[in-house]
Amino acid sequence: MSKFNSGIKRFDPYLPRIMWILTRMITSTLRLKRIGYEAVRDLKDRNERIIFALWHGRHFITYHRMPPDNMHIMVSPSRDGRRIASLLRMSGFSIIHGSSHKSPIQALIRSIKCIKEGGDFIITVDGPRGPARETKPGIIYLSRKTGAWIVPYSFSARRSIRMKSWDRFMVPLPFTRAVQIFGKPYRLSPEIEQKPISGDCRDLGWRLDRLSEAADRICSSN
């Protein structure tokens, strides 16, 4: 191992805290507008279970601007995933380790149990490694099995940096205008469980694309 990599590794225990502080600082400066949350509040008032669905590249502010109460997030058990999990715990979220590549069945079973016990979820539906903006089937299975409502969600900022990562991750610049937008909640009836899942994946992807485009338009028009 090179001296550089060895030095980086020594900072591993501190990286989640550093990331949390930086993202918290940037988020606190944003001139943020929240759109469509009334429907979410109505579901919560009725004690309905919710799965928030978003693209991986649009989750920058999510963990500082979503209520963490009894909220679960599925995170990859990889080294990067463990760092992210540490960051999320600092914001009060509960973690389930799993992904479409590692322990998917066990993660799905634990997720179903959490929802049936009264928990909600946030899922980046094209994560953890893409392809970008292609919905993985896990969220569809989860909604069909539990009857939880799916709430499409997106975020945009007027001034931002797009990272050269697979998801083109959006990092808002400090003090810019930003939008947190929630789509119309919908649910998948257990009666359709035997139908092909690909159609529901495409439908959710379409909803997320339209929502992201709307968020971009709102930010650019302000």
Residues with Cβ within 8 Å of 39's Cβ and at least 6 positions away in sequence, in order, are 151, 182, 184, 185
Give the domain CATH number at 99: 3.40.1130
Mean of pLDDT over the chain: 89
Q: Which uninterrupted H or E stretch holds 157?
A: strand 149-157
Residues 24, 13: Cα–Cα separation, whole Å: 18
Q: Which domain holds residue 32?
A: 3-221
Is 0.95 topped by the overall pTM?
Answer: no
The total number of structural domains in the chain stands at 1
pLDDT at 2 over 60: no
- pLDDT digit string (tens) for 121-164? 999 999 888 899 999 999 999 999 999 999 999 999 999 999 99
Give mean pLDDT, residues 13-41: 92
- pLDDT digit string (tens) for 192-222? 656 789 999 999 999 999 999 999 999 998 5
- pLDDT digit string (tens) for 57-105? 999 998 888 876 789 998 888 777 888 888 888 888 999 987 766 677 8
